[in-house]
Amino acid sequence: MSVISKVVQALEPSATIAMATKAKELRAAGRTVYDLSLGEPDFATPDHICQAAVEAMRAGHTHYTQAPGIPELRAAVARHYAATHGIEYKPEQVVVSNGAKHSLHNVFTVLCDPGDEVIIPAPYWVSYAELVRLAGGVPVIVSTTQESNFKLLPEQLVEAVTERTKVLLLCSPSNPTGSMYSPEELAALADVAIERDLIVVTDEIYERLIYGDNRFASFPTVRDGLVDRTVIVNGVSKTYAMTGWRIGWTLSTVEVAKAMSKVQSQETSNPCSISQYAAIAALEGPQECVAEMCLEFAKRRDYVTSRIAEIDGLSCGEMDGAFYAFVNIQAHLGKSYGGTTIDNSSDWCLGLLDQQGVATVMGSAFGAEGYARLSFATSMDNLKAAFDGMAAFIDSAK
């Protein structure tokens, strides 16, 4: 008899973390590695945020806090959504957690009974399906296409709904594709959610990283009555280069928020007290740092777009936001690389890492075989070297 539970035995490890770990191992062995695997801004956390953490420590804010977060941060999150999106939330509707991933775990633990179905459009972030399974839910994967820029269509949602469907999970802008739903596209999905009485969990962690003339819309704003059937997931990690600070949050009904707070009180007690004060400074302090980082990401996005277009057989959808390119590599599968025939995205990404030192993540981890995800949250020099290595790897195929 195995000592490990069946749920955990069936759990897939995070592919993004696994590829980043492999890249670090090669680097430790003396290899030059260009890491495009992790979705982590390469900028330092802005000084005023770090200073707020120092001041919090000096003020003695180094003890347990309320399970759902300090009142000051919960109020700051509510003010942010009112000012930015015109949605009125009370602080008691906000639950602050140890990163957005922890927030998602809380959400599915609270919402899902065994057998409840959660519709997840693919490509999807690697942890979504596994977090649903951990909570006892059933992920229902609905494949989208590059032609639709990897967006779920209303008719696909209608077809996927069954009597067991409880939740629709959306991510806009998307990890891994960078695509973003327009307000009109969200409204069309909202109509189905209302008609079929679905709860919508919307991951909006990349809401501030938007390019060109694209306009972000928070899901509850596109139709009346959506606030009571929506759980928003967000945080400071991507916008403020604060991945290591581990602060995410949810906005939901008071009923759902109280339930998540109860779960969190048993899991972790509370998020890091010091990080919470830093998050207040992030939300309510100077915002020029966000514009500067977004401008640099936009330059990198344009460069990545041009390099993909230059390499025969590669293509990707429109990157409206976030900092990822989801690259179609299907034309380069079924070929021999260094004497080994590569037929799938996993082997292709591993071959690229082994032969050229370029770390990416296989599309199969995101529910889309034949693709590779590239993060451009790295320096322009790294991007140039990585694409040179990718072009050489492709040219070596026979």
Q: Which structural domains are found in the chain, ordered by start?
A: 6-44+289-395 (3.90.1150.10), 49-284 (3.40.640.10)
Q: Note the pTM of the prediction, 2 decimals.
A: 0.95
**DSSP structure class, residue 45:** P
Q: pLDDT tens-digit profile of 71-81? A: 999 999 999 99
Mean pLDDT of the chain: 96
Q: pLDDT tens-digit profile of 17-64? A: 777 788 888 888 889 999 999 889 999 999 999 999 999 999 999 999
Q: In terms of DSSP bridges, do strands 340-342 and 358-359 run parallel, antiparallel, or are they unpaired?
A: unpaired
Q: Which pLDDT belongs to residue 25? A: 87
Q: pLDDT tens-digit profile of 272-319? A: 999 999 999 999 999 999 999 999 999 999 999 999 999 999 999 999
Query: Is it the case that residue 2 has pLDDT exceeding 90?
Result: no
Q: pLDDT tens-digit profile of 215-273? A: 999 999 999 999 999 999 999 999 999 999 999 999 999 999 999 999 999 999 999 99
CA–CA distance, 245 with 232 (Å, rounded to integer): 20
